[in-house]
């Protein structure tokens, strides 16, 4: 092996997100007999697939657009006409006051996180800037994004019981306030996902207002990952309100609408942040793709894309979610399973209080039986005190309910029998 830099050594190790994507590839591309309840691949929604097919056919039938899209580099911050259209869309929908200079297009939201997190974390001439995750568990893909491995601060959520089966994590406001007040000069940004991946939690206006208050008091940006939420794909099972702040940086994605292969992420932020993203993308990849901006041009201005998502996506997942929850509750008593209140996305976060093996060992047992899930220990980026009562990583898993009903039913049966065996 050649000598590697610190960068090379950091990424020469298996990460949670790498293992998740490897499992996803094996189950969906290489071994279709595996039951995929693990990765974040969206389901195939017939109505959305027909819509996408129609839009691509229209795109291919227009030779001028086709050759423009494939034959010319775009702005490093993304196609300006499409960014103008998106600005009109968000202004119309949420009464925001943004323009194309507030929007950057990226190669998917994961690429956006890599840029944003490393803009706001790492060494400066005086200190090490860190990312604060105010409520764990949180997205598996965040942990290895900061180039500096010590650039993360994390706070576990407080568990509030809703009924005998359901609970919800909430912000530990005391610890959050203490962390901000003690470390505000070292916190480069705060980051959340809503709906949360893995729990499905949707942040309330009160919680966003609480974060906004400290963000503005100490001038700390907040990265808000909206990959599963409104306005698209709109996989939200309760009312989701947006709170705007100059300090908030929103990321959106076309992936979960059913277009992960397009790799189009959208960042909304102050113009100076958008300009920085463009400068970095020029070095990383010259410019983002022009395909999505051409295929879907005018569909945001007319609200066509938004209406398609609103009409077909949420109910597709809601039906599957309810089916799985019913199956779990019929076979497992509350002392064997606890379910995080599912308010959005297409995941369930499950805790098994009497589990006698670790979550990773459970993952391995299930894999041997033909079922792929994701062990809960990977959803605690930067969390060190793992003997704390707030840490649920060794007794939890995340399951996805995006796959066909037959796959879900077979997978849940395997999960139930395995939990009974090891509890």
Q: DSSP readout, 367-406?
A: HHTTEE-EEGGGG-TT---TTSTT--GGGEEEEE--S-HH
- Inform me whether the pLDDT recorded for 10 exceeds 80: no
Two structure tokens written together for 132: 């604060």
Return the bridge partners of 397, or none: 350, 375
- Inform me whether the pLDDT recorded for 71 exceeds 70: yes
| Confidence label for 12 from pLDDT (cuts 50, 70 and 90) | confident
Least confident range from 220-224, 378-382, 417-421: namely 378-382
CA–CA dist 325, 328 (Å, integer): 5
Please state the rounded mean pLDDT for residues 88-112.
Answer: 96
- Inform me whether the pLDDT recorded for 26 exceeds 80: no
Please state the rounded mean pLDDT for residues 23-40.
Answer: 74
- Inform me whether the pLDDT recorded for 20 exceeds 90: no
pLDDT value for 225: 97
Please state the rounded mean pLDDT for residues 96-112.
Answer: 96
pLDDT value for 384: 75
More confident residue, 121 or 18: 121
Least confident range from 24-33, 44-53, 285-294, 347-356: namely 24-33
| Confidence label for 16 from pLDDT (cuts 50, 70 and 90) | low
What is the pTM assigned to this prediction?
Answer: 0.94
What 3-state class would DSSP assign to 40? coil
- Domains of the chain (ranges; CATH) run 6-44+311-421 (3.90.1150.10), 73-306 (3.40.640.10)
Q: What is the mean pLDDT of the chain?
A: 93
- Inform me whether the pLDDT recorded for 203 exceeds 60: yes
pLDDT value for 24: 61
pLDDT value for 33: 78
% of the chain beyond a pLDDT of 90 = 86
Q: Is 286 left (phi over 0), alpha (psi -120 to 50) or beta?
A: left
pLDDT value for 309: 98
Angle between helices 405-421 and 359-368 (to 10 degrees): 120
Two structure tokens written together for 286: 């010259």
pLDDT value for 31: 66
CA–CA dist 104, 101 (Å, integer): 8
Please count the other Cβ atoms lying within 10 Å of the Cβ belonging to residue 163: 8
Model pLDDT for residues 132-173, shown as the tens digit of each residue = 999 999 998 898 899 998 899 999 999 999 999 999 999 999
Which DSSP state fits 291? H
% of the chain beyond a pLDDT of 70 = 96
Please state the rounded mean pLDDT for residues 123-140.
Answer: 93
pLDDT value for 35: 93
pLDDT value for 370: 93
- Inform me whether the pLDDT recorded for 27 exceeds 60: no
Two structure tokens written together for 88: 């009109």
pLDDT value for 386: 64
Do the Cβ atoms of 396 and 359 come closer than 8 Å?
yes
């Amino acid at each position: 092996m050649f000598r590697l830099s610190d960068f090379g050594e950091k990424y020469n190790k298996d990460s949670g997100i790498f293992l998740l994507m490897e499992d996803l590839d094996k189950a969906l591309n290489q071994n279709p007999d595996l039951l995929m309840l693990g990765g974040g691949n969206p389901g195939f929604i017939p109505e959305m697939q027909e819509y996408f097919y129609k839009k691509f056919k229209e795109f291919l039938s227009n030779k001028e657009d086709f050759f423009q899209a494939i034959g010319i580099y775009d702005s490093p911050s993304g196609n300006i006409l499409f960014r103008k259209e998106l600005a009109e869309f968000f202004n119309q929908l949420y009464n925001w006051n943004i323009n194309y200079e507030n929007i950057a297009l990226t190669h998917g939201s994961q690429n956006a996180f890599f840029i944003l997190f490393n803009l706001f974390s790492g060494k400066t001439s005086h200190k090490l800037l860190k990312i604060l995750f105010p409520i764990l568990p949180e997205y598996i893909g965040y942990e290895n994004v900061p180039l500096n491995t010590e650039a993360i601060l994390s706070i576990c959520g407080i568990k509030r019981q809703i009924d005998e089966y359901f609970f919800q994590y909430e912000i530990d406001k005391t610890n959050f306030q203490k962390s901000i007040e003690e470390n505000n000069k070292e916190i480069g940004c705060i980051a959340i996902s809503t709906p949360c991946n893995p729990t499905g939690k949707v942040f309330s206006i009160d919680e966003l207002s609480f974060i906004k208050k400290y963000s503005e008091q100490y001038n700390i940006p907040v990265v808000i990952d909206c990959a599963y939420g409104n306005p698209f794909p709109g996989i939200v099972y309760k009312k989701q309100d947006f709170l705007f702040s100059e300090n908030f940086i929103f990321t959106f994605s076309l992936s979960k609408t059913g277009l992960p292969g397009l790799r189009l992420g959208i960042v909304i932020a102050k113009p100076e942040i958008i300009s920085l993203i463009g400068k970095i993308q020029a070095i990383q990849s010259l410019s983002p793709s022009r395909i999505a901006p051409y295929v879907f041009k005018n569909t945001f201005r007319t609200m066509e894309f938004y209406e398609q998502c609103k009409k077909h996506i949420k109910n597709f997942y809601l039906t599957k979610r309810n089916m799985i929850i019913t199956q779990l509750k019929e076979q497992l008593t509350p002392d064997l399973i606890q379910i995080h209140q599912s308010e959005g996305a297409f995941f369930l976060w499950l805790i098994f209080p009497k589990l006698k093996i670790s979550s990773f060992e459970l993952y391995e047992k299930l894999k041997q039986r033909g079922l792929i899930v994701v062990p809960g220990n990977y959803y605690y980026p930067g969390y060190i005190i793992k003997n704390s009562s707030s840490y649920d990583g060794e007794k939890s898993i995340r399951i996805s309910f995006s796959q066909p009903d037959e796959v879900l039913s077979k997978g849940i049966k395997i999960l139930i029998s395995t939990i009974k065996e090891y509890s």
